[in-house]
Copies of this chain bind each other. A is one copy, B any other.
Amino acid sequence: MKIESVDFFYLSMPEVMDIGDGSQDALLVRIRAGGLEGWGECEASPLTSIASYVCPMSHSACKPLKYSVEGRNINSAEDIKNISNAVHENSFDLLQSDHTLSGIDIALWDILGKKLNEPVYKLLGYKKSYPKLPYASQLFGNEPEETFRKAAKAKADGFKAVKFGWGPFGKKGLANDIAHLLAAREGVGPDAYLMIDAGTAWNNNLALAQERLEHLKKVNSYWLEEPFSNMFLDSYKALSESAPKTDLAAGEGCNNFIQAKLMIQYAGLRFIQIDAGRIGGITIAKQVADLAQQNNITYVNHTFTSHLALSASLQSYAGIEKDIIGEYPVELKSLAQDITLTKIVPDTDGYIHVPEKPGLGIVVDTLALKKYLVDVEIKVNGKQIYYTPDL
């Protein structure tokens, strides 16, 4: 079947706050082909990504993404890989391209699954999918008391794993961090997995990260996530070898395979966290999952937006039985909740499951989206090259 249309929908909450909550806006991609519809989501700046899709060509290695996508045939997994390769070849000097490709690639897998009547993970070569233990992923409270309340709520909601990240952590001194760590552990109880996400707060400062290690140990944190900016391999490695030993997690900042490969090879990570909406889609995410297995590193999805994005990010490691942990956002803005009619919810044992329906197995609620739709119009030399299409 031939790709007939690739449409972008920029959605936003009425007010976007200056906080580390990526669910405040969204960029959905809808691809139509052969009477079917596939949906994807870019975890990226919507306007910038749209511009990278429609911009005029600058030179042979800086083409708009549409050049490598529109009019192509999609009948097999190989066809999607060919589109991914074409984007990398035709747009490698267009920096935004990996983020934009991500949503396109996800939508292509969704539509191919619908055509072949298979869930995406089966098209990726997995025989079956295994349940994942979701960790309730949320921001630290502004004060330790708020962190405690959030932690206690996650416990009451039945979560056996909880992650806190961003907010004030790492930014207001050691004493404040310790207070938040203790509050988090007290709230989730002694038995839950507790993950801590520094959100790159220390940029590249090894000492600042090292002085938190003993306090992370005291609250028995399961991992420390993103102490440093993406790709600061030496600092990650040095921290991974520091005492007391703390398992490190990172990777959400990777926007292509080679970055993830280097993080796996050189950063001393125990967990690699990949967002299919950033790394170039499910195609690249699966390549990273394969590499992580070969290197005995645990793969974890990164997801802080809708359940469409959640399904997309789970596919790449759905069939890896031993990689059991999954990120599960629990304080989504209404926008991110309203994107899908289908929800991925924990079962009675507290585990989540990749949808078994064709494609991503997620029904997008186009009616509900209308109130969040941000109209975008781009004109170049008076000619309209983009206008928000009809939902």
Interface size on A (CB < 8 Å)? 61
For residue A19, CB closer than 8 A to chain B, the reply is: yes
Contact B20 A59 (CB under 8 A): yes
**How many identical chains are in the complex?**
2
Q: Looking across the interface, which residue of chain B has its beta carbon closest to that of A379? A: B377
Nearest CB of chain B from residue A237's CB, rounded to whole Å: 12
Among B96, B199, B203, contact of A52 (Cβ-Cβ < 8 Å): B96
Contact with B along A133-176 (1 / 0, CB 8 A): 00000000000000000000000000000000010000000000
For residue A61, CB closer than 8 A to chain B, the reply is: yes
Contact with B along A78-117 (1 / 0, CB 8 A): 0000000000110011111011000000000000000000
Contact A47 B51 (CB under 8 A): yes
With a cutoff of 8 Å between Cβ atoms, the chain B residues found around residue A21 in the complex are 59-60
For residue A229, CB closer than 8 A to chain B, the reply is: yes
Which has the most chain B C-beta neighbours within 10 Å: A18, A21, A58, A89?
Answer: A58
Nearest CB of chain B from residue A99's CB, rounded to whole Å: 5
Contact with B along A20-55 (1 / 0, CB 8 A): 111011000000000000000000111110111011
Contact A55 B48 (CB under 8 A): yes
For residue A200, CB closer than 8 A to chain B, the reply is: yes
Contact A58 B95 (CB under 8 A): no
Provide the bound-state CA to CA distance between A55 and B16, in Å.
Answer: 12
Please report which residues of chain A, range 365-391, place their CB below 8 angstroms from some CB of chain B when the two chains form the complex: 374-382
Contact B259 A57 (CB under 8 A): no
Given A376-B379, A379-B376, residue A59 in contact with residue B16 (CB < 8 A)? yes
Provide the bound-state CA to CA distance between A262 and B237, in Å.
Answer: 14
With a cutoff of 8 Å between Cβ atoms, the chain B residues found around residue A96 in the complex are 45, 48, 52, 95-96
Contact B378 A47 (CB under 8 A): yes
Q: Could you list 4 further interchain pairs (A-B, Cβ under 8 angstroms) beyond the known A22-B62, A88-B229?
A: A44-B62, A45-B51, A45-B64, A48-B55
> A: which residues have CB within 8 A of B?
12, 16-22, 24-25, 44-48, 50-52, 54-64, 88-89, 92-96, 98-99, 166, 199-200, 203, 229-233, 253, 255, 258-259, 262, 374-382
Query: Would you give 25 A-B contacts (Cβ < 8 Å), ordered by A?
Result: A16-B57, A16-B58, A20-B59, A22-B59, A22-B93, A44-B95, A45-B58, A45-B64, A45-B93, A45-B95, A45-B96, A46-B55, A47-B378, A48-B95, A48-B96, A50-B51, A61-B199, A88-B229, A93-B253, A95-B96, A229-B258, A231-B262, A374-B380, A377-B378, A377-B379
